[in-house]
Chain A
Amino acid sequence: MLKIARLAALLLGAIFIAPAVVQADSSSITAAGSTALLPLVKAAAETYQAEHPDVKISVTGGGSRVGITQVAAKAVDLGDSDILAGEYPTLVDHRVAVTGFALLVNSGVGVSALTKKQIQDIFSGKITNWKDVGGKDQNIVVINRPRSSGTRAVFIQTFMGGSPISQDGLVEDATGTAVSAVISTPGAISYATFTGVRNRGVTLLKINGVSPTDENVASGKYSFWSYEHIFTNGVAADATAKFLSFIQSDRKLVRQLGYIPIGDMKVAENDR
């Protein structure tokens, strides 16, 4: 029996030690988190790896809260997030870009603009038919993002003003699936990043009369936006720091992918 236990311990030990040995490679960088920021980090990683063949960068999504909890647990080097991480004091914030978010609706609802108040009433479940906001007589299908989503957090902070989101809506767990669901579901409304709605042929709403454009975000007229953060746990290690400053310096890439360089912003604050 002792022998069995010893062998078992050995095998178990091997299982736990093997990945640790693999991870010890110092020039590998891992990132996880916000699906809103994912396209930028992915593209930056590709360009950076092409220029620095000795560095390996692996990037995954999961949601802003995933990025924050993963980097806080030191499971990844970089945690991507649309929101701040006040509850983890060891995390160091690196702002890399600004992203705008849009309210999007199924093309059949007959509405192209809403006020903040109307948006709040729709998502809290007070308004349930499009005819009450000037559209067709059709039930409103609210599509939310899950708790782990930074986009959801930014939406709540921008529009909900303390009143809770109705739980009755559908929940889609990524930007892409939420946009697809809005396109295919009659009466649907949801929210997503500018990057996520580009080239998808979906109707974007004016909010309080302001169109969702980069210019309106930069000038401060359009209020549904947030900084994109990359968190490191403590001061970034050398390879990680170089990659971070690479992302922050590449304005062309930022614009190309539909984000707004921080330097373009004429308003500050509004941090979540």
Chain B
Amino acid sequence: MEAEDGDEHAALKRSTLTEKHAAAAHRRERIAVALLQACSGVFIVAIGLLIAYLTVEGTRLFFTDHKTVAEFLFSPTYSPETGQVGALPFIIGSLAITAFAVLVGGPFGVAVGVFFSELAPKPVAAMMKPAVEVLVGIPSVVYGWLGLTLLVPLIRAATHAPGFGLLAAGIVLSIMILPTVITLSEDALRAVPLTLREGSLALGATRWQTIRRVLLPAASSGLTVAVILGIARAIGETMAVQLVIGNSPTLPRGLLNSASALPTQIVMDMGGAATGSLLQHTLFSMALLLLLIAMALIVAVRFTLRSRA
């Protein structure tokens, strides 16, 4: 009887202890979850506010100043002080340097990705992977400065043009998108099942035939994403481009001409744009346009990834 009592007592004590532990764990759980929720809540609110703010400010040009979307997008004359708000020179400038970067840096980056994933001996890959990561970590002003001190004089010497212009900006961007394209295309190729490689090689295909006929088609959607994210990296680049592009707010007539891009023109003019001025509204519309381009690129990435599945 007494022994049973003791047992019961101990059991009761144990159960209270466990309950206490459980309660404490529960409390911590609630706090942790609440904190995580709060962080994501702040994040969502911040993103929402940002998009809403840019949308409101970026459309004032059309609603407050009664400019047409067509003038903004297609007029080649940018002179807000005389009421002309054409952003075509900057749209063309952005598209030109981004296209250049993707045409030059894209294939090059995919090629290096193939090398890393399929051909590189382990020690070589081990040495070069960190080198690619360093490329990501270099601040863009450093790329721009190197472009200004090395590339611009080189182009000047080779062509007798001033050196500043689309070509210089395009080359700098080609280098800047490399890490993105290399890393993502390597990942895409590594994701191709080993059995495909083995099957191809077992059929007697060479490594190049395997890469060209089997791996690249199999990884095509991943490679497309690599290039799209390269585009996203290029179109928003500001500092490096601003230092070498020449910043002329006119339609470029050739690769060697000085030009300007959407982000660089924003940074050149925003300091002096008085609140509520036509200039400020135009710059906000350009920022909104950049946001829309970024969104379109993300949608394109989603679409590419889904179409594979």
Interface residues of A (CB under 8 A from B): 3-5, 7-8, 11-12, 62-66, 68-69, 72-73, 87, 141, 146-149, 164, 167-173, 181, 184-188
A66 close to B271 (CB less than 8 A): yes
Contacts of B126 in A (CB 8 A): none
Q: B164 near A: Cβ within 8 Å?
A: yes
Q: List 12 A-B contacts (CB under 8 A).
A: A4-B38, A8-B38, A12-B42, A12-B46, A65-B272, A66-B271, A148-B268, A169-B258, A171-B249, A171-B260, A173-B268, A181-B164
Q: B83 near A: Cβ within 8 Å?
A: no
B45 close to A184 (CB less than 8 A): no
A146 close to B41 (CB less than 8 A): no
- A169 in complex: contacting residue of B79, B82, B248, B275, CB < 8 Å: B248
Interface string of B242-263 (1 = CB under 8 A from A): 1000111110000000101000
Chain B residue with Cβ nearest A141: B162
Extra 10 A-B pairs, beta carbons < 8 Å, given A69-B275, A72-B274, A147-B272:
A12-B42, A63-B271, A69-B271, A69-B273, A146-B269, A147-B268, A148-B271, A172-B247, A185-B163, A186-B160
Contacts of B269 in A (CB 8 A): 146-148
B247 close to A147 (CB less than 8 A): no
Given known A-B contacts A5-B41, A8-B42, A170 and B156 have beta carbons under 8 A apart:
no
Contacts of B2 in A (CB 8 A): none
A87 close to B272 (CB less than 8 A): no
Task: Pick the most buried of A4, A12, A72: most chain B CB atoms within 10 A of its CB.
Answer: A4
A167 close to B272 (CB less than 8 A): no
State the majority secondary structure of interface residues on A: mixed
Contact size range, B: 20 to 34
Contacts of A4 in B (CB 8 A): 34, 37-38, 41
Q: B81 near A: Cβ within 8 Å?
A: yes
Chain A residue with Cβ nearest B270: A148
CB proximity to A under 8 Å, residues B24-47? 34-35, 37-38, 41-42, 45-46
Chain A residue with Cβ nearest B49: A12
How far apart sit A68 and B37, CA to CA, in the bound complex (Å)?
43
CB proximity to A under 8 Å, residues B122-162? 153, 156, 160, 162
Chain B residue with Cβ nearest A85: B274
How far apart sit A223 and B78, CA to CA, in the bound complex (Å)?
30
Contacts of B82 in A (CB 8 A): 164
Q: B279 near A: Cβ within 8 Å?
A: yes
How far apart sit A102 and B45, CA to CA, in the bound complex (Å)?
51
A146 close to B272 (CB less than 8 A): yes
Q: Which 5 A-B pairs have the closest CB atoms?
A: A65-B272, A148-B272, A7-B38, A171-B247, A66-B271
CB distance from A62 to the nearest CB of B (A): 5
How far apart sit A184 and B156, CA to CA, in the bound complex (Å)?
10
Chain B residue with Cβ nearest A170: B246
How far apart sit A186 and B273, CA to CA, in the bound complex (Å)?
32
B156 close to A186 (CB less than 8 A): yes
How far apart sit A65 and B38, CA to CA, in the bound complex (Å)?
40
B246 close to A8 (CB less than 8 A): no
B274 close to A87 (CB less than 8 A): yes
Contacts of A63 in B (CB 8 A): 271-272
